Structure 1
Amino acid sequence: MSTPKQSTNTTAFFAQAGISFAVALGAMLFAILYLPVDSWTRAFLGMTTIFLTTSSFTLAKCIRDAQESQYVVSRLDQARVDKLLADHDPFRSVS
């Protein structure tokens, strides 16, 4: 069984993700502020934007945690198999 390769992200990827998040959130806030509706509708859209943003972060964290736990379990299983193979001696006499 091969162990999964841990990928690393570049600084440019982090910058792109941060900038795109900031632009999307800024555009949404701009649209809410300049939408020709009453204040209750504007407040509702603002709250849904906040809930959507926080739930997106929560979902991303849950997915990351699930992937990391699979990686750790896979590494533990591989370590157990390696230990069994290292301890096994087929030429040892059974007495």
Structure 2
Amino acid sequence: MQNISPQKDSAAWVIQTWAAFILSISMTSFGIVNLPVNNWVKGFMGMGLAFSVGSTFTLAKTTRDLHEARRLSARIDEAKVEKLLSQHDNLNFK
């Protein structure tokens, strides 16, 4: 059975993704604050931004969890097949 090591992201990639996230949220928030509309509209747009960010995190976590569950299931199935093959080989050599 092959060993599947967890994927490791480089430090540069992690820094870049966090920087892009912080910049995008900051710029969008700055744009909402400086819109020439009343505070109700700004509040509505701010809530939309907050819910969009929250649902994006939830979707990303759910997608990752499904991928990891499928990968684990595939590894279990592979181990079962290898066990059956090794048992079959042992029976043939006796």
Gaps of 5+ in 2: none
Which residue matches 1:28?
28
Letter in 2 for 1:11: A
Partner of 2:49: helix, strand, or coil?
helix
Q: TM-score, normalised by structure 1?
A: 0.88
The percent identity for this pair of structures is 34
Which residue matches 1:90?
92
The structure richer in helix per residue is 2
In the TM superposition, structure 1's runs of 4+ consecutive aligned residues that sit over 4 Å from their partners are 2-6
Measured after TM superposition, the shift of residue 25 of structure 1 is 0.1
Letter in 2 for 1:63: T
Over aligned residues, Cα RMSD in angstroms? 1.9
Which residue matches 1:71?
71
Alpha-carbon separation, structure 2, partners of 1:5 and 1:84: 24
Letter in 2 for 1:20: A
Gaps of 5+ in 1: none
Q: TM-score, normalised by structure 2?
A: 0.89
Which residue matches 2:46?
46
How many correspondences in the alignment?
Answer: 92
Q: Which has the higher contact order (CA 8 A, sep 6+)?
A: 1
